[in-house]
Amino acid sequence: MFDVIVIGAGLSGLQAAYTAQQAGLSVAVLEARDRVGGKIWSVPLASGRGYADLGGAWVNLTLQPRVGAYVKQFGLDTEVQRLDGRAVMQESKEAGGSYGCLQFTPAEKQNLERIRDHIQAESLKPGPPRAQDDNVTLDQYVRDLGALPKTAKMVNLWAQVMHGLESSEYSAAWFIDYCRRNRGLLAIRADDASGGQHLRFRGGSQSLATHLASLIGPSHIHLSTPVLSITDAKTHVTVTSTTGQTFVSRKAILSIPSTMYKELNIQPNLPPRLRQITDATVLGDYNKAIVCYDRPWWREKGFNGYFASFEGPVILARDTSVESARHFSLTCFVNGKPGRFWSKLPPHERRAVVLRQLATVFNADTEPGSNHEVWKPIEFFDQIWQHERFSRGALAPITALGHYVEFADVYGKPVGNLHFVGTEYSTEWKGYMEGALCSGEVGGLEAVDALQGKGRASL
């Protein structure tokens, strides 16, 4: 019998296992996929010019101390996000780089700044979210504050970029609380040293997970072992896998997104109020298209590769080149409603619409048959996380209207011998890699305390 079984070898599960192991407990990690890392996944380029990060990519070593400590410990190289050059705001499908943000009238700009400052101020306040904000969508919330149409569109863009949903699809309280846990709206949005998108891993972000897995020891991690059922018999927990294996432990830690708890056969059933909130959580449409070129041709036109778009299907893109590896790429986020439609297209059309939008935004020749480099990427990746059997979307589960506040007392709390971790539960950098590590650490210690008889009461 193991002391602790951890289900899932994403960053939260790996950290939970490592924390328990460091406290002297025996652990087994059961992972459905044939790799560790979950929503961090780095694929080597065929050209040999580095990696494409299909999931999480950006970090900030100062603001995210757990990631920072591991980067130092593992000796991982990072690349600063390149900002030199002109960023583009695309307001309509036809608009290219020449439009920029200048299409906002002074009144529209003032309105946007007022609403942004309001959300920033709310997101710096301590304390739990307000019940009244949980019953209203983010879209309605900003309209009630007097948002003009362009401001509402910008808030929708934030929702798409940050969560893969439309602002009309989830609550203002959830959004504000997310900002609160992550040092405010501006830190979430910033690409410089003050924000979450400051650095990337030269060797791919998944190296964080593979190094952490090495600390735990490969013999303790069972890959290609999808968990099917969990039975908590009070004195012990029995976990079975679809591969027909059975594992027994004193405690189990679930690190899969709460949206997926209903896919497991958990006995006895989780308490009704916990099921009510987790059964109704949703994961966003959060997709990436990574377009690799031989040369960073957009820089020659004065662009820095960053653009945001009200129309999509790419709603935001960044230059993700690594100069030393001669890796030149644009990473495009195809999220929210535009991403929902895009993900249903056949692969060649998904590629064509992304390239056409890059051509439009960066003022290149929009004719597919043209000789312009935009139409000749050396590699093209697209990753639709909703199609992933063991993720079903990203970044982190989002609760239904009203549920976040109503069920806060049960959400993420232990039940019998079961503990719950995942970036969704983190009080710091929720939704991020740092959040996954933070939650894993807390959940691992919670299981240690429970085994040593010091635990908080279970539901």
Ligand X SMILES: Cc1cc2nc3c(=O)[nH]c(=O)nc-3n(C[C@H](O)[C@H](O)[C@H](O)COP(=O)(O)OP(=O)(O)OC[C@H]3O[C@@H](n4cnc5c(N)ncnc54)[C@H](O)[C@@H]3O)c2cc1C
- Contacts with ligand X by CB under 6 A lie at 7-13, 30-33, 38-40, 55-59, 226-227, 255-257, 260, 286, 288, 385, 390-391, 394-395, 422-423, 431-433, 435-436
For 90, phi then psi, to 5°, come to: -95, 115
Residue (74 or 99) nearer to ligand X, CB: 74
Sign of CA dihedral 391, 394, 396, 400: negative
The pair of three-digit structure tokens given for residue 226, joined into one six-digit string: 């999808």
Cβ(134)–Cβ(404) below 8 Å: yes
Q: Where are the alpha helices (DSSP H) in 44-184?
A: 65-74, 106-123, 131-134, 138-144, 149-163, 172-181
Cβ at position 135, least distance to ligand X in Å: 27
Cβ at position 413, least distance to ligand X in Å: 17
Residue (147 or 322) nearer to ligand X, CB: 322
Closest CA to 249 of 27, 446, 448: 27
Residue (39 or 350) nearer to ligand X, CB: 39
Residue (29 or 95) nearer to ligand X, CB: 29
Compute CA distances 360 → 103, 229, 295, whole Å. Answer: 17, 50, 18
CA-based R_g, the chain, Å? 22
Which amino acid is located at 302 in the chain? G
The pair of three-digit structure tokens given for residue 221, joined into one six-digit string: 């991690």
Q: Is 428 annotated for ligand binding?
A: no
Residue (136 or 161) nearer to ligand X, CB: 161
Q: Is 32 annotated for ligand binding?
A: yes
Residue (29 or 353) nearer to ligand X, CB: 29
Distance CA 70, CA 64 (A): 10
Residue (92 or 269) nearer to ligand X, CB: 269
Cβ(46)–Cβ(327) below 8 Å: no
Cβ at position 67, least distance to ligand X in Å: 7
Cβ(189)–Cβ(154) below 8 Å: no
Cβ at position 400, least distance to ligand X in Å: 20
Cβ at position 12, least distance to ligand X in Å: 3
Note the Cα 312 to chain centre separation in Å: 19
Distance CA 255, CA 284 (A): 18
Which amino acid is located at 185 in the chain? L
Helix (H) or strand (E) holding 349: helix 347-361
Q: Is 349 annotated for ligand binding?
A: no
Residue (362 or 385) nearer to ligand X, CB: 385
Cβ at position 196, least distance to ligand X in Å: 6
For 22, phi then psi, to 5°, come to: -60, -25
Q: Is 424 annotated for ligand binding?
A: yes
Look-up of token digits 């949980």: 134
Plot region of 106 (φ>0 → left; ψ -120 to 50 → alpha; else → beta): alpha
Closest CA to 162 of 181, 149, 148, 146: 181
Cβ at position 132, least distance to ligand X in Å: 29
Distance CA 257, CA 264 (A): 12
Helix (H) or strand (E) holding 185: helix 185-189
Residue (55 or 129) nearer to ligand X, CB: 55
Cβ at position 368, least distance to ligand X in Å: 27
Cβ at position 310, least distance to ligand X in Å: 21
Q: Is 166 annotated for ligand binding?
A: no
Residue (63 or 448) nearer to ligand X, CB: 63
Q: Is 314 annotated for ligand binding?
A: no
Cβ(171)–Cβ(136) below 8 Å: yes
Contacts of 431 (CB under 8 A, 6+ apart): 162, 163, 178, 182, 395, 396, 423, 424
Look-up of token digits 């990753």: 383
Cβ at position 106, least distance to ligand X in Å: 34
Q: Which residues are annotated as a binding site?
A: 12, 31-32, 227, 333, 424
Which residues fall in the annotated binding site for FAD?
Answer: 12, 31-32, 227, 424
- Annotated binding residues for substrate: 333
